[in-house]
């Protein structure tokens, strides 16, 4: 594939289902804990004061993000484990509680913010999972995935990282790109690409993105 021509040959992935569809295809029948956890995650994220416009309607930002994570996980790996599905849905749980502005506005501050969030999300998710009856083994596994332990060595962590990157590229990259120069965007795209697996790369090359963003990805991969 000519990576400079990103749009030419990447196959198109089927469209995601309508926003708000709860995708729990893989859920074990009768596992009330899973459904209860998803409901609690969503109820918490529905309190986000920040909004994202979806189909002309303002929705809680982190609730939208969480459901997009579930949708992409289902598209990429319908047989993903329960722990991965729980981690995907709680990846940004209560993110608005620790805004970026609380940390220095440089790369060191950004990285500190991110690592602080990993622990925060993991702890909040663990509280919910214990409340609905999950054992400590499952709680620990979900928390490990949220904290991103084992990227490139843990297949489930790599799957989750692919989903994170795909959600960003499909839903947030265009808006992000509008506020940054090309050199910085290409650098970020290369870092994002390095985090992804070959399966994630294939999915990314099939995204239906605006022309400028497709061209930026082509330059990043050239």
| Angle in degrees, 0-180, between the axes of helices 82-89 and 61-76, rounded to the nearest 10 | 150
**Rounded-to-integer distance, Cα 164 and Cα 37, Å:** 20
Give the Cα separation of 196 and 76 in Å (integer): 13
Question: Quick one: pLDDT at residue 77?
Answer: 97
Mean pLDDT of the chain: 88
Q: Report the largest interatomic distance among the alpha carbons of the chain, rounded to a whole angstrom.
A: 51
Report which DSSP code applies to 208: -
Query: pLDDT per residue over 181-214, tens digit each?
Result: 999 999 999 999 999 999 999 999 999 999 999 9
Region of poorest pLDDT, from 3-17, 34-48, 130-144: 3-17
Domain boundaries, given as residue ranges, for the chain: 23-153, 172-222
Find out whether 90 and 40 touch, Cβ atoms under 8 Å: no
Main-chain phi, psi angles of 14, to 5 degrees: -60, 150
Residue 151 is predicted with a pLDDT of 86
Q: What is the torsion angle, in degrees rounded to the nearest 10, for the CA atoms of residue 117, residue 119, residue 120 and residue 122? A: 120
User: What spatial distance separates the first Cα and last Cα of the chain, rounded to whole Å?
Assistant: 11
pTM for this entry: 0.85
CA distance 94 to 98: 8
| Confidence label for 180 from pLDDT (cuts 50, 70 and 90) | confident
pLDDT band at 7 (very low <50, low <70, confident <90, very high): very low
In terms of Cα–Cα distance, which of 60, 106, 70 is closest to 91?
A: 70
**pLDDT per residue as tens digits for the range 77-119:** 999 999 999 999 999 999 999 999 999 999 999 999 999 999 9
For residues 1 and 77, the model is more confident at: 77
């Amino acid at each position: 594939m000519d990576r400079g021509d990103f749009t030419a040959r990447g196959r198109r992935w089927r469209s995601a289902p309508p926003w708000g569809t709860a995708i729990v295809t893989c859920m074990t029948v009768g596992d009330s804990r899973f459904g209860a956890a998803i409901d609690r995650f969503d109820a918490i994220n529905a309190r986000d004061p920040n909004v994202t416009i979806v189909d002309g309607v303002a929705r809680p930002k982190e609730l939208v993000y969480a459901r997009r994570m579930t949708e992409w996980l289902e598209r990429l790996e319908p047989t993903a484990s329960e722990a991965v599905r729980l981690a995907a849905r709680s990846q940004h749980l209560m993110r608005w509680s620790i805004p970026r502005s609380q940390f220095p506005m440089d790369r060191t501050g950004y990285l500190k913010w991110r690592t602080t969030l990993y622990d925060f999300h993991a702890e909040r998710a663990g509280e919910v999972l214990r409340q609905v009856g999950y054992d400590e083994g499952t709680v620990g596994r979900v928390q490990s995935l949220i904290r991103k332990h084992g990227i490139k060595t843990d297949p489930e962590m790599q799957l989750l990282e692919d989903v994170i990157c795909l959600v960003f590229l499909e839903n947030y990259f265009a808006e992000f790109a509008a506020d940054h120069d090309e050199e910085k965007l290409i650098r970020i795209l290369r870092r994002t690409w390095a985090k992804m697996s070959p399966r994630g790369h294939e999915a990314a090359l099939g995204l239906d993105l605006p022309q400028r963003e497709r061209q930026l990805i082509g330059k990043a991969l050239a």
